[in-house]
Amino acid sequence: RRDPQVLRLIRDFDQSGKLIAAICHGGWMPISAGVYRGVRVTGSPGIKDDLINAGATFEDAAVVIDRHFVSSRRPADLPDFCKGMLEVLENWSPR
């Protein structure tokens, strides 16, 4: 989350509508990239405040899909997380 190239890649993915997926504490990367403002997300309860402070709308759910963003809370949510990513990839088209 501190690497400028990684943050630029996340911003580029956001601008082109490509999948951005985060599970557990992975939400810190889109937070640092500044792409979560106005996005519905979930994540580890430990970063709930960080997500909210970044402008995201936090939901306590196994998976949250908002446009090209997919997020989950913990490893037990992996089946739903994977289905969410596949759903976004299946419906993706270049902007």
Active-site residue, 24 included: yes
Tokens at 6, concatenated: 């990684």
Tokens at 19, concatenated: 């999948």
Q: What is the pTM of this model?
A: 0.95
Active-site residue, 68 included: no
Tokens at 32, concatenated: 């640092």
- Is-contact 20 28, C-beta < 8 A? no
**pLDDT tens digit sequence for 44-89:** 999 999 999 999 999 999 999 999 999 999 999 999 999 999 999 9
Catalytic residue among 7, 9, 19, 24: 24
Closest C-alpha among 36, 34, 46, 33 to residue 71: 36
Indicate the length of the chain as a whole number. 95
SS3 state of residue 77: helix
Catalytic residue among 1, 11, 18, 25: 25
In sequence order, what are the beta bridge partners of 65? 70
